[in-house]
Amino acid sequence: MFDWSLAKVALDLPIILVDGLNSDAITDVIKQINLYAVDISSGVESSKGVKDINKIKRFLLHY
């Protein structure tokens, strides 16, 4: 597990998070640092390579 408090030293830099993110995994991170972008591609799949529209909607509505 990554220590997100370490990212606070880069608050003035554009931060892009990637790799298996979903709405549950990113909630606390968004509160701690200013994100430029997130890659949620694999985090919104129902199975490998298959996007789940409900997971996508849930993520977008949450943020």
- In the chain, where the domains are located: 4-62
Q: Is the distance from CB of 14 to CB of 36 less than 8 angstroms?
A: yes
For residue range 32-59, what is the model confidence (pLDDT) as tens digits?
Answer: 777 788 888 888 899 999 999 998 998 8
Cα 54 to Cα 23, 28, 34, 58, 59, distances in angstroms: 12, 21, 26, 6, 9
* Cα 41–chain centre separation: 10
For residue range 11-22, what is the model confidence (pLDDT) as tens digits?
Answer: 777 778 777 666
Q: Is the distance from CB of 44 to CB of 56 less than 8 angstroms?
A: yes
Of 53 and 1, the one with more pLDDT: 53
Of 43 and 24, the one with more pLDDT: 43
pTM confidence score: 0.61
